[in-house]
Structure formats: C-alpha cells, structure tokens
Amino acid sequence: MLRINCPFCGIRDEEEFDCGGEAHVTRPENPANLSDDEWSHYLFNKVNTKGILLERWRHTYGCRQWFNMARHTVSHEIIEIYPMGSFPSFNGMNVENVVKEVEA
C-alpha cells in the first residue's frame, strides 16, 4: 500500500485515495471535428509506461482534491506530486514528449 503525500492534507495511506488514470490527457476542444480513430485514441489509448508514469489521483476520503503524481510503475516509487494544470519538475524525463505521445 502506497503512502501518498496529499498536497493539502499531508501523508496518508493509499486506501484514502483513488487513482484517476493517466494525467495530461486533455479533452479535445472540438470532438465533433475528430475522426473516429482520433476520438478512440483519446478514449482508449494510454501510454501505460513500464517506468515513470504521470497519473492523476484524488484524495477521496480526505479533501477530495485532485493532484498529479509521477510514479514508477515497477518500483512504485512516487517521484513527484504536483498540482493539476502543471507539469512535473524532476529531471530525467522529457515531459513534453510524454504529453505529446498521449495526445498523438
């Protein structure tokens, strides 16, 4: 069970949180203009990295606030927790590429 440092409440056990899947998956501005393939890419295709993955989590049984988390999917190490609407700041990862990959 992970220990997660909620930016608003502090360190809590994972059982207070819910994982909302990958972060930085932006909803397309005009879905009607997308082809079926583009829309299904948004709906279903995720990066699902074996390695560092950017996710969004909610402190459901606490402040109910969402935040982003960079987590290693093998070691389960939490590398960084950062606010919604921002990007992680740790070194060693080209975040823009990750985001592009999600949007591609």
Contacting residues toward another protein, per CB under 8 A: 1-3, 13-14, 20, 26-27, 30-32, 34, 36, 39-40, 43, 56, 58, 60, 64-66, 74-77, 84-85
Residue whose CB is less far from another protein, 85 or 94: 85
Question: Measured from the CB of residue 32, what is the shortest distance to another protein in angstroms?
Answer: 6
Tokens 């070691």 correspond to what residue? 75
Q: How far is the CB of 89 from another protein (least distance, A)?
A: 19
Q: Which long-range contacts (CB under 8 A, 24 or more apart) does 5-14 make?
A: 5/78, 5/81, 6/59, 6/62, 6/63, 6/65, 6/67, 6/81, 7/65, 7/67, 7/81, 7/83, 8/59, 8/62, 8/63, 8/65, 9/59, 9/62, 9/63, 12/59, 12/62
Tell me how far, at minimum, the Cβ of 64 lies from another protein, in Å.
Answer: 7
Rounded to the nearest whole angstrom, what is the least distance from the CB of residue 66 to another protein in the complex? 4
Q: Which is nearer to another protein, 49 or 60 (CB)?
A: 60
Residue 35 or 48 with smaller CB distance to another protein: 35
